[in-house]
């Protein structure tokens, strides 16, 4: 299957889905505190989907049982919400998606609850900025792995972090996961050329230790094998007809973070 090319009208629907995702993630970020359970966070997301007349894309995805993923500390991604209260100093990673009129949005962030360990904060900042570096490299006419290379290069410039190898970003549109798979590491200049109308979810996942992971018996939760803490950030972006990007799941479309990297965002959406 080829990479799905979206029209401007379709990307506008993806923006609506992306805004539901971005706004819900902001509400969840505010709610994350020591003592709160990740099941409570899931409930907040369920309510916000209803308010926005949006559908969940995670729920029942290959049998997944919630509308968010909530991964704590050495859990890096795909953690299932539960009734364990978040503890002071925990790293909490929330991944969330929504569907509007058949079009998907998907994004994630990590945050520290309560007392901040500076090394944990550096892990999060490195992961987040690598996502923006990846998106900034996703220009019309560039090659897919220019994104991968930019992500890895930035992460390695910041210290010794493990970059997960089994998981990566993806095309997004009428399904949450489409072609192409977007690695978070590797040589530049390979893969398909990036074209107007493509939409990609960029999602680096890193640890303070080794990149080796295992999946828990719940068949979802991805943890680091060495117990090191992880971070995960994700945004979905598209390339518009003016050859400029727009970050569909970011409240400001990526204006601030891409602007800081010298990239102007599209004003077509
Ligand atoms: N949002 C995840 C991703 O970024 C997928 C979540 S898996 C699910 O690709 F089962 F929770 F949906
Ligand atoms: Co994703």
Domain coordinates in residue numbering, the chain: 8-259
Query: Ligand 1 mean position to 58 CA, how many Å?
Result: 6
Name which of 125, 108, 110 is nearest 168 in CA terms: 108
Which residues are within 8 A (CB) of 263 and not within 5 positions of it... i.e. 6 or more apart? 136, 244, 245, 254
- Contact status, residue 265 vs residue 254, Cβ threshold 8 Å: yes
CATH class of the 8-259 domain in this structure:
alpha beta
Which ligand neighbours the alpha carbon of 98 most closely? 1
Q: Is 158 in the pocket of ligand 1 (CB under 6 A)?
A: no
Q: Which residues of 32-47 are buried (b: 16+ CB within 10 A; e: fewer)?
A: beeebebebbbbbbee
Please say whether the dihedral angle defined by the alpha carbons of residues 79, 204, 225 and 229, taken in this order, is positive or negative.
negative
Which ligand neighbours the alpha carbon of 232 most closely? 1
pLDDT given for residue 225 in this prediction? 98
Spatial strand order of the sheet with 213-215 comes to: 75-77, 222-224, 213-215
| Interatomic CA distance for residues 209 and 161, integer angstroms | 6
Query: Residue 28: phi, psi to the nearest 5?
Result: -65, -40
Query: Ligand 1 mean position to 94 CA, how many Å?
Result: 10
pLDDT given for residue 171 in this prediction? 98
- Contact status, residue 20 vs residue 98, Cβ threshold 8 Å: yes
Total residues belonging to the chain: 269
pLDDT given for residue 238 in this prediction? 98
pLDDT in tens, the chain (269 residues): 799 999 999 999 999 999 999 999 999 999 999 999 999 999 999 999 999 999 999 999 999 999 999 999 999 999 999 999 999 999 999 999 999 999 999 999 999 999 999 999 999 999 999 999 999 999 999 999 999 999 999 999 999 999 999 999 999 999 999 999 999 999 999 999 999 999 999 999 999 999 999 999 999 999 999 999 999 999 999 999 999 999 999 999 999 999 999 999 999 99
pLDDT given for residue 1 in this prediction? 72
pLDDT given for residue 33 in this prediction? 98
Where are any strands of DSSP class E within 74-204?
A: 75-77, 91-100, 103-112, 162-163, 169-171, 178-182, 199-202
| Interatomic CA distance for residues 40 and 86, integer angstroms | 11
Q: Is 203 in the pocket of ligand 1 (CB under 6 A)?
A: yes
Q: 21, 78, 164: which to mutate for ligand 1, most atoms within 8 A of CB? A: 78
Q: Is 167 in the pocket of ligand 1 (CB under 6 A)?
A: no
Q: Which atom of ligand 1 is nearest to the CA of 201?
A: 4
Which ligand neighbours the alpha carbon of 65 most closely? 1
pLDDT given for residue 2 in this prediction? 92
| Interatomic CA distance for residues 208 and 210, integer angstroms | 7
């Amino acid at each position: 299957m080829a990479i799905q090319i979206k029209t401007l009208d379709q990307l506008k629907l993806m923006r609506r889905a992306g805004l539901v995702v971005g706004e819900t993630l902001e509400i969840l970020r505010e709610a994350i505190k020591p003592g709160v359970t990740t099941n409570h966070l899931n409930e907040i997301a369920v309510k916000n989907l209803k308010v926005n007349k949006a559908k969940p894309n995670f729920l029942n995805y290959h049998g997944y049982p919630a509308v968010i993923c909530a991964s704590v500390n050495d859990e890096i991604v795909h953690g299932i919400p539960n009734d364990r209260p978040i503890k002071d100093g925990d790293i909490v990673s929330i991944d969330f998606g929504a569907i509007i009129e058949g079009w998907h949005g998907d994004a994630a962030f990590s945050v520290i609850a309560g007392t901040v360990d500076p090394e944990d904060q550096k892990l999060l900042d490195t992961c987040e900025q690598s996502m923006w570096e990846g998106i900034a490299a996703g220009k019309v006419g560039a090659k897919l792995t220019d994104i991968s290379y930019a992500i890895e290069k930035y992460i390695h410039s910041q210290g010794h972090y493990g970059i997960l190898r089994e998981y990566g970003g993806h095309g997004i549109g009428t399904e949450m996961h489409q072609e192409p798979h977007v690695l978070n590491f590797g040589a530049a200049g390979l893969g398909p050329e990036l074209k107007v109308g493509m939409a990609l979810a960029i999602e680096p996942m890193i640890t303070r230790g080794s990149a080796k992971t295992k999946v828990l018996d719940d068949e979802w939760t991805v943890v680091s094998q060495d117990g090191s803490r992880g971070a995960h950030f994700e945004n979905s972006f598209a390339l518009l007809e003016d050859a400029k990007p727009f970050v569909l799941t970011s409240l400001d479309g990526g204006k601030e973070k891409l602007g800081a990297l010298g990239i102007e965002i599209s004003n077509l959406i």
